[in-house]
Amino acid sequence: MSSTTCNIRIAPGKDIVVSSRLLQTLGIGSIRQLRLTFGSKSMNTSLKSVRRNDHLLKLPVSVASQLMLPRGGKCLLSTRGSDEVRIGPLVGILAARSKSVSNSFGSMSSFFRQLAAIGKDRSYFFVFSPKDVDWENETVTGFFPNPSGVWLRKEVPLPDVVYNRLQSRLAEGVTAMNSFKESFLRRSIPIFNWTFFDKSDVYKLLQGDDVNKYVPESMMGPSGTDVREMLTRHGTIYMKPSSGSLGLGIYRIQHTANRGYTVRYRSKGKNHAVGYKNFDAVMNLLLRHQKGRLSRYVAQQGISLIEVDECPVDFRFHMTKNGENQWVVAAIGAKKAGKGSITTHVASGGKLMNTEQVLQQAFGSNGSNVLQRAKNTAVDIAKALERNYPYLLGEIGFDIGIDKSGKVWMFEANSKPGRSIFKHPDAKSQERDTLTNLFDYCLYLSKFRRGGNDHDHRSGKSGKASRRSYLSGKRQRSKVARRL
C-alpha cells in the first residue's frame, strides 16, 4: 500500500487523466484498468496518462458526480492492491445537530472546524447526525465547514472511518443507537470511541489488571454499611454518580473522631458544608437528595492530593492515539480547586494552572521525575482500558491525582473528554497536538497511512461475542449494586 497527496480537478470531458509522475509515485505500471473508490462508492474505469511532473488527477464531471465527490482540490490518494485507487480519506464525525439551528453543532462546532482544518488538503472531513444516514443507498447528508463559517450540506458516500463525538449521554443511550453504530461495523467501517464511559464500567474493566493499583478503592451502589466501613478505612470518601460529568452530584464525606462527619457538596451554584454528629444523619441527607437510592453512585476512597495555596490540585491527561496506533499523552492541564469546592472543575471555581510549575512547587527538583512517572502511568492505563474494552478507542481523558508522597492515582476516565484545559494560554500547542493525533489516527484506521491494514477494524480484538458480553454486563451492572 502507498499513499500520496494529489490535486484533483473536476472538468468537462470524458477521460480520467492522471499525470505520469503521480502514476509513478503510486507504483502503478502499465495497468490502466482499475477501480476508483471514494468512501463506500466505487466504479471501474480506465486512466489516460499525460506527461506531467506533478500529482494531478483530472476527473470528468460525470465521474465526480457518480463518486459523490464534494469538491476538487487537494487530498490523498491511496492504492489497494494493484488495481484500485482510493480518494480520501472521507472522515465522518458523528454528532448531534443543534435543535435551534439545524446546521449547527452547538458548543462543539469550533472543535469540529479545528479538526477539519488540521486535515485540510489531505482529507474530506464532514459532520453528521444519526438521522442523516441513508442505509438503503449507503449515503450520508454531511455538513462540511467552509472558510466563511457556514456549514455546507452535501450528500456523500458512507465514510472510510467514523469518529464518534455525540455530545449527549441521553442521545447515546437510546436503544437504537447501538444498532446504528453496529451498521458501520457490518460494512467494515471502523468507528472509534463507541460510547460514553460510566465510572462503574471503567473500574470494572480495570479490575484484575495490574494497573488497578492506580485506582482508589471504589464501590458501585454502596449500602449504608459499605459507606460507614469505607469511612473507617480511609477517613474521607467521595460519592460520585456513575454516569455524571462536570463534577455534578458529587459529595465529599469526611469523618474524624473529634468533629464527627462533614458533608461537602455543590448545589444551585453554591458550595455547601454540613456537619453531623452521627452517621445516620449523613445517610439521611444522601438519600433525601438522591430520592432514596444510591444504586447509581460510586463510593471512592479520598486521596490527600498535592495543594497550591491550601487548595487541592489534580490533572487532566488528554490521551490520544497517533498515526502509528500508539497511545500518547497529547496534553496535560493542572486544575486547582476553588476555595470551599470539592472538585477542581472550572465551573465550580477551579483554576487552570501550568503543570510543570505546580509539580515543581510540590516536589522541587523532583517534579520532572514525578511528571514523567505520571505520563508513563497514564499510557499504561490507556493500554489496559483498550485491552479490556471491546471497541476501538482513539481518545481518553483521565482525571489524574498525585498525592503528597508522589504516588499517581486515576480517578476517572472519559471517552468524550472536554477541552476546557486548552483555555490556558500555555496549552495552545498541546491543543494542536490532540487535533493532529486524532487526524493521524483517522488516517491509520482508514488505511491511508502505511501500517493501517495491520489492524482489525471490526470493533477490537474481541469481536461480537465480547461486545454482547460487555453490553449484557453493562445492563446487569445498572440493575445490581456490586463491589468493584
Judgement on whether residues 434 and 385 belong to the same structural domain of the protein: yes
Q: Reply yes or no on whether the pLDDT at 450 is more than 60.
A: no
Contact between 259 and 236 (Cβ < 8 Å): no
Give 427-431 contacts, CB < 8 A, sequence gap 24+. 427/331, 427/333, 427/352, 430/318, 430/330, 430/331, 430/332, 431/114, 431/331
For 294-335, what is each residue's pLDDT tens digit?
788 899 999 999 999 999 999 999 999 999 999 999 999 999
DSSP letters spanning 134-189? ETTTTEEEEEEE-TTSPEEEEEEEPPSEEEE----HHHHTSHHHHHHHHHHHHTT-
Which CATH number goes with the domain that contains 61? 2.40.40.20
> In this prediction, what percent of the chain has a pLDDT beyond 70?
89
User: DSSP assignment, residue 305?
Assistant: B
Strands (E), 322-386: 327-336, 351-353
In angstroms, rounded to a whole number, what is the distance separating the alpha carbons of residues 230 and 299? 8
Judgement on whether residues 265 and 295 belong to the same structural domain of the protein: yes
Average pLDDT over residues 386-393: 96
The answer as to whether 207 is a domain residue is no
Judgement on whether residues 268 and 328 belong to the same structural domain of the protein: no
* pLDDT at residue 103, rounded to an integer: 62
* pLDDT at residue 295, rounded to an integer: 82
Last residue of a domain, one of 64, 86, 108: 86
Reference 197, options 468, 325, 380, 386; nearest CA is 386
Q: Reply yes or no on whether the pLDDT at 458 is more than 50.
A: no
pLDDT class of 456 with cuts at 50, 70, 90: very low
CB-facing half-sphere around the CA of 247: CA atoms within 13 A: 23
Average pLDDT over residues 331-358: 85
Judgement on whether residues 366 and 271 belong to the same structural domain of the protein: no
Q: Reply yes or no on whether the pLDDT at 132 is more than 90.
A: yes
Q: Extract the C-alpha cell encoding 9.
A: 480537478
Q: Reply yes or no on whether the pLDDT at 214 is more than 90.
A: yes
Last residue of a domain, one of 86, 119, 142: 86
- Say which amino acid occupies 287: L
Q: Extract the C-alpha cell encoding 368.
A: 520532572
Contact between 283 and 299 (Cβ < 8 Å): no
Judgement on whether residues 249 and 113 belong to the same structural domain of the protein: no
Judgement on whether residues 379 and 445 belong to the same structural domain of the protein: yes
Q: Extract the C-alpha cell encoding 176.
A: 437504537
* Low-confidence winner among 106-120, 256-270, 429-443 (lowest mean pLDDT): 256-270
Judgement on whether residues 177 and 224 belong to the same structural domain of the protein: no
Instruction: Domain count for the chain, please give it.
Output: 4
More confident of the two residues 452 and 279: 279
Judgement on whether residues 377 and 294 belong to the same structural domain of the protein: no
Q: Extract the C-alpha cell encoding 459.
A: 470493533
* Low-confidence winner among 256-260, 343-347, 388-392 (lowest mean pLDDT): 343-347
Domain ranges, residue 269: 217-302
* pLDDT at residue 455, rounded to an integer: 44
More confident of the two residues 276 and 452: 276
Using CB atoms within 10 A of its CB, is residue 294 exposed (0-12), middle (13-18) or buried (19+)?
buried
In angstroms, rounded to a whole number, what is the distance separating the alpha carbons of residues 253 and 289? 14
Judgement on whether residues 238 and 134 belong to the same structural domain of the protein: no
* pLDDT at residue 173, rounded to an integer: 83
Last residue of a domain, one of 237, 268, 302: 302
Q: Reply yes or no on whether the pLDDT at 257 is more than 90.
A: no
* pLDDT at residue 459, rounded to an integer: 45
pLDDT class of 396 with cuts at 50, 70, 90: very high
Judgement on whether residues 168 and 33 belong to the same structural domain of the protein: no
Judgement on whether residues 106 and 11 belong to the same structural domain of the protein: no
The answer as to whether 197 is a domain residue is no
